[in-house]
Homo-oligomer: A and B are copies of this chain.
Amino acid sequence: MEACFSERVEALRALMRENAWDILILGAGDPHASEYPAPRWQQVKWVSGFTGEAGDLVITRDHAGLWTDTRFFIQARRQLEGSGIVLHKMRVPDQVPIPQWIASLEMENPVIAVDGLCQRVEAVRELKAAVPSAVIKAVPDILSPLWLDRPAIPSTPIITLGEDLAGESREARIHWLRKWMILHEMDAILLTALDEIAWLLNVRGSDVDYNPVVISYLLVTMDQVYWFVRKDAFLDPDGETQASFEELQSDEITLCDYDEAVMALSTFVGEDVSRIFVDPSTLNVHLRACLDECGYDVVEGPSPVPLRKAVKNSVEIEGMREAHLEDGLVMEQFLYWLESQAGRVNEWEAAAELGRLRASIPGYRGDSFETISAYGPSAALPHYVTPREGSALVESHGLYLVDSGGQFLFGTTDITRTVPMGPCTPLEREDYTLVLRGHIGLARAVFPQGTAGCQIDALAREPLWQAHRNFGHGTGHGVGFFLNVHEGPQDVRQNFNTQPLLPGMILSDEPGIYREGMHGIRHENLLLCRPVGDNEFGSWLGFETLTLCHFDTSCLELSLLTEAERSWLNAYNERVYRTLSPRLPAPVAAWLREKTRAV
């Protein structure tokens, strides 16, 4: 069934006329500012046909535009064809973001409708700042009257993690949060980010692609915990969810219905609960307005949960080490297989084989993001989506890039390897070597306590910069423990994020070089930040590499490496061999022995 997107835009215009809205904005988000919205909230896709992860739609009486960034230009141009929707480019020098674009229309008191559930408080504030005269109408489920076969809110089975896996009980975490509330004189805190809730309650689901979370809100007061979840909606053949609910209830978590969160919140306000803390970066405008209407004294700020969650405890760290051991065994078997398949499989088939291998790991709970399996020019798109039909053949020369990861009961992985499939050009070899130098620059960094990621990002870039090359994405993102593969508050990139890197934080290290129409290279391991000593100059931090999978040395330009870089590489490859080989099939172990010979 081919939807006619231009008709949907027109239907929306009729709705706008009916309500006297001048402008309608539909964002890519869900009510929890999740990275991946469930199908129910893929509003932009339903209206426009555009399937990219990042894209916002603006409809006026005579214009319909999609705002997206460099990663999705080609895809957007193809998918928007015939819809009448115009592409507005972001992350380009002359970008005009939506608020500024609307301001440039110079309308008098424009009435702007947004989806109240899918717009974050912060986004609406930016709009209001750019167009002060705007009247903003936040309408929950704004598309529902038109979107007749709209998918339901997901309600996948819910499991709980015991202290043996999570390293800390939910009681302990709630106790910590209440101490924070006392310190900040809050009667309550409303958590809206799904990974924060999953972490605090030690629950996991699969309501959102790749993120093992449960669609819900969580209200914590000084003596109660209310979890707003779709408690009556679960198809639960195994009784897993029921058991989870019972465990939570025995821990004095009160289960309330997700759809009645607003009504329930209005009953709590009073003497016990007056001052309530919310994080406007993940709270939706509908709920924000309701809190005001209920009469709460609302205090906004960054939630304290992400920082605490980012610093892994010793059980989580052990679990992450185990996840990377299992993942490394799979990756080596995949690379062994792949070498024999040059010229015979396409990108999709390669990704499928890797997925099959990874799914065989006990405790596997899905991939941590959509696998990027890209040969040659495909890899030049850092966020290439491998098509199911007609993906490129992995040929027996040049470079193949695979970026993938898994969710396991005991951890989360994220790894990129760029693999020479046969002879490589001098430029491919040089780029491959420079990116590896960048990777090693961050991996072997030592830095004083208090250092933020942006202060060491250059260590991963300077080898590329020296050759006047660079990459347009961050070097590193935080990684959750059996949670979102992208998490804050720390990162390593060219920004001014002041969050210091702390022992126990896990980060990716993934520099790259991308050449349109030619090749793309990225080398990615996960790193664990840890103390490496104290002396009269201070306290020192460094990284332990968690990922266990060799880097191919056959296409290195050895003359470009410093002695220190070469030592690091040899020691790493040797560690990979020694750790994995006892558990690999004999032919794979023998092959890995050759692959990891010192250079």
Contacts and interface: CB of A to CB of B under 8 A. Distances in A.
Contacts of A456: 458, 462
Contact of A458 (B458, B470, B496, B540): B458
Task: Classify chain A: how many residues form its interface, as a range.
Answer: 20 to 34
Interface in A458-472: 458-459, 461-462, 465-466, 468-470
A396 interface: no
A223 interface: no
Nearest to A498: B496
A448 B466 contact: no
A107 interface: no
Nearest to A447: B465
A447 B464 CA distance: 9
Q: Which of A462, A536, A538 has most chain B Cβ within 10 Å?
A: A462
A485 B457 CA distance: 29
A446 B465 contact: yes
Contacts of A466: 444, 446
Contacts of A458: 447, 451, 455-456, 458-459
A348 to B, nearest CB: 30
B537 A469 contact: yes
Given A468-B446, A562-B562, A494 B455 contact: yes
Contacts of A564: 562
Query: A445, A446, A457 — which one has the most chain B CB atoms within 10 A of its CB?
Result: A446
Contact of A538 (B445, B452, B470, B532): B470
A532 B465 CA distance: 11
A454 B446 CA distance: 17
Contacts of A444: 466
Q: Which 3 A-B pairs have the closest CB atoms?
A: A446-B465, A496-B496, A470-B537
Given A446-B462, A469-B537, 4 more contacts: A444-B466, A447-B461, A448-B470, A562-B563
20 contacts: A445-B462, A445-B465, A446-B465, A447-B458, A447-B462, A448-B465, A451-B458, A454-B496, A455-B457, A455-B458, A456-B458, A459-B459, A468-B533, A468-B535, A468-B537, A468-B540, A469-B537, A470-B537, A470-B538, A562-B562
